[in-house]
Amino acid sequence: MADRERLDMIAKVLGTATSRRTGLMAALGAALGWATVSTDGVDAKGRGPATKGKGSKGGARSGPEIQGPCGNGRRKDNICTNDGECCTGVCNKRLGKHNTDGKGRCRCLKRGKQCQYDRNCCGTLECQQGRCAGRGPGPEPDAPIPTGSPCTPEDTCASQQATCRTYASGNPVGLYCLLPNGQSCSGSSDCVQQSCVSGTCAQATVIPIGDACTQQDTCAGQSTCVAYTSNDPSGTYCLLGTGGSCDGSVECTSQLCLSGQCTLTPESCDVCSTCTYQTIQAAINGMAEGSTIKIGEGEYTEDLTIDKDLTLRACNGEPVSIENATPPRRVIQRNSNSGDPVSLTITDITIDRNTGSEYGGGIWGYFDLTLNGSTVIQSGRAYQHGGGVELGDGSGPWDIEEPLPCTLIMEGDAAIRFNEADEIGGGVWFGCRGGEIIIRGNASITNNATPGDGGGIATADEVTLTLTGDAKILGNYAGDDGGGFSCGEHAEVYLSGNSYLSQNRSADDGGGGFTDSYGSISMSGTARVEDNTSDWSGGGLLLYEFGTLSMDEASTLRSNTAAYFGGGADIDGYYQWTEDYDTFTPALTMAGQSVIENNRTLYGGDSTWRGGGGVRIAGGSPALLNGQSSIRNNSSAENGGGIRSTGDVVLRDTSSIEGNSADGTGGGVFVSWFYDDRPATVRVGANATLANNTPNNCDGPGTC
């Protein structure tokens, strides 16, 4: 029985009045050593102004006095209208045997009841994880709450500048001791704006258009923090008003983005059950070349033939999906691949669960193809090439002798995913010799597979492949070469912006990507090739005969794995012999702050050519490290933890090779003879570093 209930019982037995009850409590309290009882009935047993309990971090707290009656809800002097009138913070308004008049009574909560603060709980119970529990030894001394830690309004924050409040973004939810802008901080979690810049709380990062926000946030561009007009989804977002330039409906308060502009008025569709055309093919046949066909919401089962320039777009941004009607046949194809390519743009449409015949599970033909908005090509299959898409003709990669230029552009949130091909190009077979592929924005090629070359993409010769923005090739599988991509001869591959090639696998060479003879790969910006796997060589990249890899700015080749050769990259360098001289083009050039790190080879064995945890270079070509570039923390199960090369390794400026290891020799660098007459050497500039490698920094012919 709680102390106050005992006092009530004693008062009732003695027949005292309410005024005498207070005096009795004071007398008994003095006799028992309690704190003085106030005239408001607030005592020091966890139910009044002197209340102290555990804060969110286990420390005690002492808050301002909370005026109002206390009690168990039975007596008339505990009448209340809201929680704020009660010292316990709980006003019970429910009818019951002790509350027959429907009036509110202040009460305390017993064990197991839901609570917010310790003062809500009876006696010495504490509010633990939202419920009254435990019986502690009584009040504890004050302990200020550290900055950035959870708190309650009654807590005292350790920093005098911090107050107990929510983050400006409202995420994570709850109250914390937070600093305003301009105060010294040790991390973003200390600041109400969740932004600690150079040790000082600063304005939070500008919220991108379409992302969730609070009224304290600054929205990007002309957007403001408001709710959608439909209130679905609920919450507030940085949104554009009518007339604002938009990339998608999620950016507009009206949730309607048409032709790049926020609008209130829905557009008229061309294809729907009550429209001019009831089928997509009827609209293709009936509308002029260059038209945009607006397709109403729904699932369409059609086999489409397109031989003129067109755009297919979801009307009003509503969901539209198309499947083929008579498999094995792709959804979209041309009657003839002769002449110039047809321009086809697909916007906000899903092409789903399609089985092509030999070529192109979803789309096949000689097109200049653009996929944008939220377009998806998924779950398709081809018996030969291009599980999702095939552009060009049906010839294999070795049969296309003449240029057949066409383009594939993926942008916005476009995706090609979960497709399969029985020979090459799990996601895409790009059979346009001399053509161009551009993947940008947030576009992606993911989770496609083939037992041959190019799990994500396979291409003909002389193709240019560019990834930029936040584009990605992710999670694809090839049973032969190029888990992410496999490009033909003389290919040029560019990875820039924040693009990445990740989690792809090859059962042979080039887990992330493969280029055939005379191929080049250039990395810049913050582009990265990471977490790819090869079951033979080139965990991240393999550049076959006469290949070159260049890395600049903050690009990264990281955490890739190969079974035997070149954990990060395997490069068969550029060597050209003439009667008068030998010409060596650098196989690897690093500049800026580019990094090759944490790559590895798994197995050694009977071949002295195995190894190169970071990079293996054949062909006698040199590796040049410039700027602040580094090769670090790679490992080899044979020789050359950082680099294993038949050509020179040259460190300039403040470049470095550090922290690498080998189970054989040459923890940092292992160099060897190119044929029998040219020993490779390692040259380290005055400000460059070759150090802290295991078992030794350098081993092999020439000078180390």
Global pTM exceeds 0.85: no
Least Cα distance to 120 among 152, 165, 79 occurs for 152
| Token pair for 367 | 């097109």
Tell me what pLDDT residue 704 has. Answer: 72
Instruction: Express each pLDDT in 12-34 by its tens digit.
Output: 444 433 333 334 333 333 333 33
Residue 466 domain flag: no
Could you please report the per-residue DSSP string of 185-233?
Answer: -SSGGGBTTS-EETTEE-PPPPBPTTSB--TTSPBSTT-EEE--TT--S
Q: Distance between CA 289 and CA 310 in Å, rounded?
A: 6
Residue 25 domain flag: yes
State the helix-helix crossing angle for 3-14 and 18-32, rounded to 10 degrees: 130
Task: For residue 81, count other CB atoms closer than 10 A to its CB.
Answer: 11
Q: Distance between CA 643 and CA 57 in Å, rounded?
A: 50
Residue 576 domain flag: no
Residue 523, phi then psi, degrees to nearest 5: -120, 135
Residue 637 domain flag: no
Q: Is the CB of residue 374 less than 8 Å from the CB of residue 412?
A: yes
**Could you write out the three-class secondary structure of 22-77?**
HHHHHHHHHHHCCCCCCCCCCCCCCCCCCCCCECCCCCECCCCCCCCCCCCCCCHH
Distances (CA, A) of 18 to 10, 11, 70, 76, 122: 12, 9, 14, 10, 22
Tell me what pLDDT residue 102 has. Answer: 63
Instruction: Express each pLDDT in 291-331 by its tens digit.
Output: 999 999 999 999 999 999 999 999 998 999 999 888 777 89
Q: Is the CB of residue 698 less than 8 Å from the CB of residue 668?
A: yes
Q: Distance between CA 608 and CA 622 in Å, rounded?
A: 19
Task: For residue 310, count other CB atoms closer than 10 A to its CB.
Answer: 21
Domains in the chain, number: 1
- Exposed, middle or buried: residue 12 (CB in 10 Å: 0-12, 13-18, 19+)? exposed
Residue 666 domain flag: no
Distances (CA, A) of 366 to 146, 344, 377, 430: 65, 10, 17, 10
Tell me what pLDDT residue 121 has. Answer: 81
Tell me what pLDDT residue 4 has. Answer: 45
Q: Distance between CA 617 and CA 441 in Å, rounded?
A: 33
Where the chain has pLDDT below 50, the residues are: 1-4, 6-66, 95-98, 136-141, 578, 581
Tell me what pLDDT residue 679 has. Answer: 82
DSSP lists the bridge partners of residue 250 as: none
Q: Domain span at residue 74?
A: 3-133
Residue 294 domain flag: no
Q: What is the DSSP letter of 418?
A: S
Residue 38 domain flag: yes
Tell me what pLDDT residue 533 has. Answer: 98
DSSP lists the bridge partners of residue 670 as: 644, 699
